Amino acid sequence: MSAGPLPGSRATRCMMRALALCIGIMASAAYAQGDAYTEVFYPSGSLRIQAYLYRPQGDGPFPVVIYNHGSRDGRERKSVPFEYVGRMLTSAGYVVLVPERPICTGRRATAPSPS
């Protein structure tokens, strides 16, 4: 059974470029709304994954940090946008994506919308 594309492979680079493009598009929408973060969803296979997107002020381009946090003991099913991380990194000029992994929340991964 394959675990997916190998790190550094062409497929991995293509996926990372596509993810960076999606994050950039979502970041523009988040900035336009003026909120601390915007709740976004992105596809992963047949799932829709919830995430929180933070964007610094300005036109960019900005480097991106994907904050892949661990489980929160006893609070695995509670959504936590990690605002302190998002605010700290956006103040340093980074776009930040904080995904809610399905293994943590158990309820955030859903089937894609029919549209």
94: which DSSP letter? Answer: -
Written as one letter, the residue type at 6 is L
Q: How far apart are CA 60 and CA 110, in angstroms?
A: 32
Residue-wise pLDDT for 37-71, tens only, equals 899 998 888 888 888 999 998 888 999 999 887 66
110: which DSSP letter? Answer: B
Q: How far apart are CA 28 and CA 59, in angstroms?
A: 9
Q: What are the angstrom distances between the C-alpha of 23 and each of 17, 66, 74, 78, 106?
A: 10, 10, 30, 24, 23
Residue-wise pLDDT for 63-92, tens only, equals 999 988 766 565 555 556 678 888 889 999
pTM above 0.85, yes or no: no
